[in-house]
Amino acid sequence: MEQPHSIALLLPEIKELLKEKNYTLLKQVMRECNPLDFADSWRRFDEDERLQIFKLLPAISALKLFEILEIEDQKSLLGKLSEENVTPLLENMPSPDVAKLFHKLSPRLVKKMTSLIKRQEALAHIDFLMTFPEKSAGSLMHPEFVKLGPKLTAKQALLRLQAVSRPNQKEHLYSAYVTDDEGRVLGALSLQDLIGAAEDEKLSELMTSVDGIKMRPRTDQEEVSKMFSQYHLTAAPVVDEKDHLIGVLTADDIISVVRQEATEDIAKMVGTKARDLRERSVFRIVGLRMPWLIVTILGEILASFIIKSYEATLVKVIALASFSPLIAAMGGNVGSQSATIVVRSIALGHVNGHQKMKTVFREMRVGLLLGIFYGLFLGVVAYALYGQRYHFVFSVVVALAMCTSMTIAATMGAIEPILFDRLGVDPATATGPLITTITDILTVSSYFALATWLLVRAS
C-alpha cells in the first residue's frame, strides 16, 4: 500500500493550485496526503485557503480534521461554513468534543449552533454535558454507553453489544458496564473478558469491581488523569451521587487532557500561560508574561537593597562581587530542578501524606551534596584567582556560600510546590520566576552575611 505523502512537501503545489482555483487537480493531490496532517500545517495557510481546503476534503476526513484542530480554528471555520456544512459536523462529532467547543463560545453563538443540530439524541447529550463545569469529568465523559444486566450470559452480552453498536460508537466499547435494574453500576467487563468466557457464564461471575475507579462528574480533569495514570485504565465509569452510571471516560479522552495539562504546567513554570504558545499579538503576549516578571523585578530590587546594606564589606573585598552572579545562578538552577521534579511528582500523585516531608529532606540532601562538590570546586578557583590578595579565608567564604546557596535553593524548590498544593494553589505556579527570585534573595543574604562574619573574624 502506498504511503501518504507529507503535506510539507506538497505545500507549495497545494498553494499554487489554490491560487489557480484548479480544484480538480487539487483534490487528486490531497488524496495523496493524510488529511489529519493538514492540522500540523494549518497555520501556514491563510483563512481563505483553509476554508477551501476544508470544503474539498471528503466528509469523513473533514470531520476528523475538525476534531483535532485548535478551538480557535474550529470557531473560525464555524463562522465561515454554511449551515448545511455545520450541521453534520456538530451531529457527528463526539458529544464531549462539541461540549468542549461550546464552552469556549459566547451564549449567543451556542444558541445558534444548537439550533442547527437536528438529531435530538445528539442535542440531548450535548445539553447534558454542558450542565457540568468545563474541564470536569462530566464535561469529558461519553453519555453513550451500553448497560448490561448481571444475569446475562457472555453470549447474550456479546449479541447485545453487536446489536446496539454503531460505527461511530466503537471507541466507547473498550469496556461494558454491569448495572442493576435501577442503573447503579455493579462492575465492568472488557471485550476480551466476554470473548474469552464460556458462552453460558453469567456476567455477575465475570465482572470486576469498579469501586476504586468510579468518577464523580464534577471531579477536575487533572484528578481524572492522575487516576488513569495510577491504575493504567483504558476506561472508567462516571456515576452520580446514588451510583447511577451516567457516562464513560476513555483513555483517548484523557490523552488530550494530559497533553493540555502538561502544556499549562510548562507555561506556568516560566511565568506565562498556555495561550502564549498560540497567541499572535505581541501586546497580548506581553500581557500574559508581565505579571510574574513584576514579581521577579520587585524581588531583585529587594536583593539589590540587601547587597547595598553590605556595601562596607564589598568595599573591603571587591572580589566578592565577581562570584555573586555565579553562586546565585547555581542556586537558581538547582532550585528549579527540585521544583520541577516535585511539581511533576505531585501531578502524578507520587507525593502525598508523610511522603511530603521525605521529599523535602531528600531534596535538601541532594542540594547539600551538590553544594559540597561545587563549593569545593569554586573554592579552589577562588583561591587560584585571589588567594595571594585575600588569603585562604576568602576561598572558604566562596565555598561555603556556594554550598549554602544550593542547599537552601533545593530545599525551597521542594517546599514551595508542596506548600502551594496544600493551600489549593496549582503547584506549577511555584516554579520559574518565583523560585529564582526567592533563591536570589536568600543566596545574596547568606553570601554577604557569611562573608562579613568570616572576614571580620579573620581581620
In this prediction, residue 170 has a pLDDT band, given cuts at 50, 70 and 90, of low
Question: pLDDT above 70 covers what percent of the chain?
Answer: 86
The pLDDT score that the predictor gives to residue 2 is 43
232 and 297 in a single domain? The answer is: no
Please indicate, yes or no, if residue 273 is contained in any of the structural domains.
Answer: no
**Sequence letter at residue 60:** I
174 and 300 in a single domain? The answer is: no
The residue out of 84, 111, 134 marking a domain boundary is: 134
241 and 293 in a single domain? The answer is: no
Of residues 287 and 294, which shows the higher confidence score? 294
34 and 129 in a single domain? The answer is: yes
Which cell is 275 given?
A: 495561550
- The owner of cell 521544583 is 339
Of residues 312 and 155, which shows the higher confidence score? 155
Which cell is 211 given?
A: 469501586
257 and 282 in a single domain? The answer is: no
In this prediction, residue 1 has a pLDDT band, given cuts at 50, 70 and 90, of very low
Query: What's the whole-number mean pLDDT along residues 416-425?
Result: 81
283 and 251 in a single domain? The answer is: no
313 and 429 in a single domain? The answer is: yes
Closest CA to 188 of 128, 139, 129, 239: 239
Contact 190, 175 (CB under 8 A): yes
How many CB atoms are closer than 10 A to CB 294?
11
**Sequence letter at residue 100:** K
In this prediction, residue 277 has a pLDDT band, given cuts at 50, 70 and 90, of low
Return the SS3 of 135: coil
Query: What's the whole-number mean pLDDT along residues 147-154?
Result: 92
Query: What's the whole-number mean pLDDT along residues 348-376?
Result: 87
- The owner of cell 461550546 is 102
Please indicate, yes or no, if residue 414 is contained in any of the structural domains.
Answer: yes
DSSP state of 201: -
Please indicate, yes or no, if residue 139 is contained in any of the structural domains.
Answer: no
Longest dimension (CA), the chain: 93
258 and 298 in a single domain? The answer is: no
The pLDDT score that the predictor gives to residue 268 is 61
Please indicate, yes or no, if residue 181 is contained in any of the structural domains.
Answer: yes
The pLDDT score that the predictor gives to residue 166 is 60
Return the SS3 of 354: coil
Task: Give burial (CB, 10 Å; 0-12/13-18/19+) of 221.
Answer: buried
Distance from chain centroid for Cα 324:
36
User: In sequence order, what E strands does 205-269 have?
Assistant: 235-239, 245-250
From residue 284, give the alpha-carbon distance in Å to each of 251, 279, 446: 34, 7, 39
Closest CA to 234 of 267, 188, 276: 188
The pLDDT score that the predictor gives to residue 4 is 46
Please indicate, yes or no, if residue 1 is contained in any of the structural domains.
Answer: no
175 forms beta bridges with 190
- Give the CATH number of the domain where residue 346 resides: 1.10.357.20
Question: pLDDT above 90 covers what percent of the chain?
Answer: 21
Counted domains in the chain? 3
The angle formed by the CA atoms of residues 360, 366 and 410, to the nearest 5 degrees, is 55
In this prediction, residue 3 has a pLDDT band, given cuts at 50, 70 and 90, of very low
Q: What is the per-residue pLDDT across 225-274, written as a single tens digit (0 to 9) for each? A: 888 888 888 889 999 999 999 999 988 878 777 766 666 666 565 555 55
Please indicate, yes or no, if residue 272 is contained in any of the structural domains.
Answer: no
Contact 322, 434 (CB under 8 A): no
The angle formed by the CA atoms of residues 145, 148 and 154, to the nearest 5 degrees, is 120
Residue 248 belongs to domain spanning: 147-265
The residue out of 210, 232, 265 marking a domain boundary is: 265
Q: What is the per-residue pLDDT across 86-134, written as a single tens digit (0 to 9) for each? A: 888 888 888 888 998 998 888 888 888 988 888 888 889 999 999 999 8
Distance CA 321, CA 411 (A): 25
288 and 343 in a single domain? The answer is: yes
The residue out of 226, 243, 265 marking a domain boundary is: 265
The pLDDT score that the predictor gives to residue 267 is 59
pLDDT of 188 over the 80 cut: yes
Please indicate, yes or no, if residue 63 is contained in any of the structural domains.
Answer: yes
pLDDT of 189 over the 80 cut: yes
261 and 199 in a single domain? The answer is: yes
62 and 193 in a single domain? The answer is: no
Mean pLDDT over the full length of the chain:
82
The pLDDT score that the predictor gives to residue 236 is 92
Contact 398, 450 (CB under 8 A): no
- Give the CATH number of the domain where residue 251 resides: 3.10.580.10
Distance CA 214, CA 210 (A): 6
Q: What is the per-residue pLDDT across 24-83, written as a single tens digit (0 to 9) for each? A: 888 888 877 777 778 878 888 888 888 998 988 888 888 888 988 888 888 889 889 888
122 and 152 in a single domain? The answer is: no
Among the ranges given (132-146, 279-293, 340-354), the one the predictor scored with the smallest mean pLDDT: 279-293
- Give the CATH number of the domain where residue 110 resides: 1.25.60.10
Please indicate, yes or no, if residue 270 is contained in any of the structural domains.
Answer: no
